[in-house]
Structure 1
Amino acid sequence: MDLNDIIDLETYPIFDETFCEKSAGTLDSSGALVLPGFILPKALSAMQAEAEENESKAYFCAQNHTVYLGPVDETLPTDHPRNRMVESSKGCICDDDVPQASPLRALYDADGFRAFVKAVTGERELHPYADPLSSINIHYANRGQELGWHFDNSSFAITLLIQKPEAGSRFEYIKDLRDADAGEMNYDGVGALLDGALEPDVLMMEPGTLVLFRGRNSIHRVSPNQSDKTRMLAVLAYNNAPGVELSENARMTFYGRLS
């Protein structure tokens, strides 16, 4: 399948240098590049049908974790922002359950799309995961399921909304709430957010929207799904070096299997 059949290239000329430079500027200045209607309706319908058909294969789990996605610091109180727990609950199917003929896989594998992502993010190389599970994931959130507040470990993330629920599941964030490279964790700011004293921004999106998001310093969450319609979201994950695998512990935690 060709990118002309997947992407609205008239609205989003990803091969155009000027468009790429403008997109990179948006990502750098706002922390998020939001491209509504990036996926053409026919391709989106195919992605929706595939995701719905394969939902029965999803591994569902709920996890308690810190905002910083790290171990508890025993030198600090349990109610310290570094140690306070939030919950994430979702289902996930892995790369090996995405059909070979899927437009989602064609998008992920296309040299032109990777060139666009490299131009926007400033990465010199992009490679798939070496393990068979981690490159393309589809996340499912049913009623009451959510993604708790956290900072990402990676420098950027790529998501594609496939299906939107009728209520809830809002993507909420605060840009640059910490500076991880400088070692500034901003515990006071995180504590204020967890206590409800800070109002986050909301990133609005409809099915077919592609988002590139810098979540390493921008805290974010997806609020609980408040409807009976499942939220379905594809995550496209690349590495800046070949041969990288998600750890066995992470695969068991997130996918319930190693291969």
Structure 2
Amino acid sequence: MYTNLPKLSSLNEASNLVNLDRYPLDRLSSDRGKVLIADCQRQLDDTGCCLLPEFLNSEALELFKKESEKLSVHAHYSNMLANVYFSEDDESLPKEHPKRFFFNRTSGFVRADSFPTDSLILQLYNWPAFAPFIQACLKEEKLYKYADPLSYIAFNVIKPGQEFPWHFDNNHVSVTVITQAPEKGGIFEYCHNIRSSHDENHDGVMKVLKGDRTPVTSLNLRPGDLQIFKGRYSLHRVTKVEGSIPRYTAVFSYTKDPQMYSKVYRSLQLYGKALPTHYQLDKTDMRTDGLED
């Protein structure tokens, strides 16, 4: 499927991917490592989002860009109407319910099973120092890589004229690396903790969907930046991309529930595919928080 993927001189050396002088992931127990963790924890506590500018070093970023071009042609585009929960319409609910408010979702995703084994993006996700760093930032005793074999890692493509409308994540934490930014637009926006594990806050969500900007924070992420984001409780979107350059993003997913999968409807919408396990687990309640999704 893939040929001539770019390669680093030695993938065993983390310095070939990450700016370790600035972000010492390989030395988290050192004084500088502890300062890094404390700063990430503070950002997450304050805003639900941690931003690490220039996380990738310059050599790795150029190689990630080349890989992104090769990956992008394998993106699935659904061009479907979607609500913030990626669920079907429920006519038993009032028309002013967010479950009945649909956007045209036009961006594309490359599934995890489409990544080549020598992918640099996959190498970063599987780097032994990476997941413990994310776990430490989140102050979680246990954190699991997302079990879903189609979306534990993904690659988002937003072409000019496309956008990724307001939605919630079904996994607890997403870690993203921007590999290419558009000329204009493609801004990441979110509403920090607009819902909780015990309160969907439908009224607050609906206000945002109808244009209320009060709880909205905007971030203009740049290529090479790493973002740790708690998307389970924070409504978020990427605004329409303008100009001629697509927006490319690698997405790494983690969860507190070791067996969590996407629901069938969501998997079909985003990735154009669902496995027998998706259908099997859809019959049971996988969500420990009881949220819509």
Q: Same fold (TM over 0.5)?
A: yes
Distance 1:184 1:129, change over 3 A: closer
Question: Contact 1:95–1:136 (CA<8 Å) still a contact in 2?
Answer: yes
SS at match of 1:182: coil
Quick check: 1:157 aligned with 2:159?
Answer: no
1:214 to 217, 222, 230: 230
Q: Can you list the C-alpha shifts for 1:16-73, whole angstroms capped at 9, x where unaligned?
A: 2332133112111111100110011111111111110232222111222222444434
Separation in 1, partners of 2:147, 2:198: 31
Separation in 2, partners of 1:247, 1:150: 15
Separation in 2, partners of 1:77, 1:65: 17
How many correspondences in the alignment? 257
> 1:149 Cα shift?
1.0
Aligned match of 1:193:
208
2:242 to 216, 220, 226: 226
Identical positions, percent: 31
Question: Contact 1:151–1:216 (CA<8 Å) still a contact in 2?
Answer: yes
Distance 1:172 1:17, change over 3 A: same
Q: Can you list the C-alpha shifts for 1:118-177, whole angstroms capped at 9, x where unaligned?
A: 101133344445554322211111122111112223322111111001011111122222
Aligned match of 1:148:
165
SS at match of 2:61: helix
Distance 1:215 1:131, change over 3 A: closer
Separation in 2, partners of 1:125, 1:59: 32
Partner letter of residue 23 of structure 2?
Answer: Y
Aligned match of 1:123:
140
Aligned match of 2:7:
none
2:184 to 167, 175, 195: 167
> 1:212 Cα shift?
0.6
Give unpaired runs (5+ residues) of structure 1.
none
Aligned match of 1:64:
81
Quick check: 1:6 aligned with 2:17?
Answer: yes
> 1:242 Cα shift?
4.8
Question: Contact 1:21–1:119 (CA<8 Å) still a contact in 2?
Answer: no
2:269 to 248, 253, 256: 253
Partner letter of residue 196 of structure 1?
Answer: G
Q: Can you list the C-alpha shifts for 1:186-235, whole angstroms capped at 9, x where unaligned?
A: 41x33332222325221121000100111222221111111221111110
Distance 1:107 1:245, change over 3 A: same
TM-score by length of 2: 0.79
Question: Contact 1:160–1:234 (CA<8 Å) still a contact in 2?
Answer: yes
Aligned match of 2:221:
205
Aligned match of 1:33:
50
Separation in 2, partners of 1:120, 1:47: 24
Aligned match of 2:287:
none
| Superposition RMSD in Å | 2.2
Distance 1:22 1:197, change over 3 A: closer
Separation in 1, partners of 2:153, 2:50: 20
SS at match of 2:59: helix
Aligned match of 1:182:
198
